[in-house]
A and B are shown apart, each in its own frame.
Chain A
């Protein structure tokens, strides 16, 4: 049975990683693969988003299937499907196989975390993505792990390339070519907070050295949710008379299910890995379908449950008394991707999975730190100096699992403003230094260019008078895509910059009367 389970886990992990690699433009405006299905299938994201938005306008079929499967079979998702769980299994193999310190048995922690998340989502907060395993995994891979792998791989091949050794370099270039086609990213991704995100991820994996599947047993809020759903599952475990209490099953249990306790086995903590069945020397363990009620009740302690719920409640006002919420005081650098909903609604939906940042063709979408305060940490923000919003690209809206960024048609996208560009006359070459430069106008993508020229007569120091073109921004036409800022030859602090003012999604953050 272990072999079948491992094979299933490997298949799902590979599907997950393959879809992750496909979350990248190949030049067409469609990806061609359902890259976000693992997020769509995530009941925690589904339930918290439904609660925080009071809407059901996002895909729900897959999440319902997982819920149904859990209700019938228990936490099979954790034991057989979850890609992060499989990675925990792999990381756990690094742990020494010796009778270690007594297990922490702190499986209740994750329920407190879940209660916190559910209660805060009832009151319109959406913090689930911070700890949701799928969102956390995609975010960590996108922002840290994959960019690191890319950097390391490219460095190795570049070194071999510069050596120009006969045969060796030919071989390495051949391999490099294959990797570029199927595995490597088109360009090196660069992300703010990459090292931090990577360290958090590494830390979570390192918990396996303390106890295997530490995260799944004690911290994972999705695991907790599926645990609650599995309490009346039909797949049940029975232990026959043959059991002599040797305790081998405890060592092999991936959860905190207490398999040695026979009838007191905790179903909500069972990952249905079936290890105890395989390991039992007496062959006394048996899994089968029955309508048996759970034997061990899940006692979370009334005070702690109330405490977690209170924390979830208090978090809502605590996170919303930031001055960034005051009209006109929002961070001007908070440029959201095109199709983003109004900021409050956006934050109710965004689960910080990082899909949009992974897919962003110019690498301009970056994880926010505190631009939208703590509530918006790791939500996407466009940083034009890193990358602009490509005029005819709508990929971020296509991969967003919760509709925080809405899917736009090209016609709709052309009308959406995400901000406005303004010129710094003190740095702009034609204004400040009498030098000619038209880069902002050249790259401006709107059909009728939002940057226009005024021809003025200028005189250089000691030179003759000549005619120069000075750029101006047409605020009606500018969509704030930021390509002018990205390409401005005035490096350092560019002479044309975009801020969020004028963004279509906001009623108040406007400049023009009409």
Chain B
């Protein structure tokens, strides 16, 4: 895809998603026929439960086709080592990368736009080494590849986003579950801040709407929420092991709202306590009605 085509398709995509989301429920129903809405797997080690969660949804082949270029987007936001639960667990990221290759992916890219210095976050989080060992192309974000996108959302109209995410055949979100000062929790939708360019601190003024806009625009094929360790206080950066809780859990699903809705329950919260989940549900990006969902729970 050359640049001209890409810009064209980005514009078309932007226009398409600004239409009323009339087709979404049908698509959701179609997907439901292929597996449960959510898979929640508990156990050790992280790589094994990640694999089990994706398998429970019908396996990675449901999401990744042969020859696909896949972006796997973990949270590599902070200069912290894995035990502090500030970044996605490196073993979870590596497991997702491996699953993509097993499903026939041509290329798997792993990157994030961190808050702390990228050299340190990539290294200290353990993600760069783990993902590279799994065969992924791990790269720092290239400033030239942030392009203005017409998001046409509730709050975000245009914003520079990382073009490799939009160009990819499939996008898989691999966030970690943590507390956050204003969003209350940072789960899947919040993780898309990591593909924003520009002076992104401004989005906190209307964070919940902005996150829904991003999630709707990026449309990940799959979300794999890392709750091996969760950060229960002083998030999203943490730094105190006393705030870290070991849950040995991975939650996977195709509905970004549903994954985040379930994520809230890990912290003893209700899905509607999270603004982005509530708005995502109201605007039919997905569902927060956990009671009406088919949730596959596995203990390993």
Contacts and interface: CB of A to CB of B under 8 A. Distances in A.
Given A26-B123, A27-B119, A453-B181, A442 B236 contact: yes
Given A27-B120, A436-B204, A443-B237, A164 B3 contact: yes
A112 B145 CA distance: 56
A349 interface: no
Nearest to B79: A392
Contacts of B238: 447
Contacts of B115: 442-443, 487
Nearest to A451: B181
B299 interface: no
A43 B239 CA distance: 43
A442 B116 CA distance: 11
Interface string B80-94: 100000000000000
A435 interface: yes
Interface in A147-190: 158, 161, 164, 186
B117 A25 contact: yes
B180 A442 contact: yes
Contact of B237 (A28, A439, A445, A453): A445
Interface residues of B, number: 32
Given A390-B116, A441-B181, A489 B204 contact: yes
Contacts of A448: 234, 240
A362 B79 CA distance: 13
Interface in B143-192: 144, 180-182
Interface in B199-231: 199, 201-202, 204-205, 207
A159 to B, nearest CB: 11
Nearest to B121: A27
Contact of B182 (A25, A443, A445, A469): A469
Contact of B205 (A164, A429, A444, A469): A429
Contacts of A487: 115, 201
A109 interface: no
A395 to B, nearest CB: 10
Contacts of A186: 118-119, 140
Contacts of A27: 119-120, 122-124, 128
B34 interface: no
A392 B124 contact: yes
Most buried by B among A27, A439, A453: A27
B205 A361 contact: no
A161 B142 CA distance: 12
Given A390-B117, A448-B240, A28 B205 contact: no
Contacts of B144: 158, 161
A446 B237 CA distance: 9
Interface string A11-46: 000000000000001111000000000000000000
A491 interface: yes
A489 B201 CA distance: 6
Contact of A447 (B3, B128, B140, B240): B240
Interface in A402-434: 429
A392 B239 CA distance: 10
Contact of A436 (B205, B237, B243): B205
Interface in A474-500: 487-489, 491
Nearest to B181: A438
A254 B115 CA distance: 52
A25 B120 contact: yes
A362 B199 contact: no
Interface in A259-311: none
Given A164-B2, A469-B182, A437 B239 contact: no
A393 interface: yes
A186 B120 CA distance: 12
A393 B120 contact: yes
A160 to B, nearest CB: 11
B120 A449 contact: no
B202 A489 contact: yes
B111 to A, nearest CB: 14
A471 to B, nearest CB: 9
Given A27-B122, A28-B123, A392-B124, A491 B199 contact: yes
B239 A446 contact: yes
A447 B205 contact: no
Contacts of A436: 182, 204-205, 207
Contacts of B124: 27, 392
A123 interface: no
A488 B120 contact: no
B119 A361 contact: yes
A439 B3 CA distance: 34
A186 B123 CA distance: 14
Most buried by A among B2, B122, B201: B201
Given A390-B116, A390-B120, A449 B236 contact: no
Nearest to B3: A164
Interface string B95-136: 000000000000000000001111110111000100000000
B232 to A, nearest CB: 13
Contact of B117 (A362, A437, A469, A489): A362
A361 B120 contact: yes
Interface string A174-209: 000000000000100000000000000000000000
9 contacts: A25-B120, A26-B123, A27-B120, A164-B2, A186-B140, A361-B120, A392-B120, A437-B204, A439-B204
Given A443-B237, A487-B201, A488-B201, 17 more contacts: A25-B120, A26-B123, A164-B2, A362-B117, A437-B201, A439-B204, A442-B115, A442-B181, A442-B204, A442-B236, A444-B237, A446-B239, A447-B243, A448-B240, A469-B181, A487-B115, A489-B199
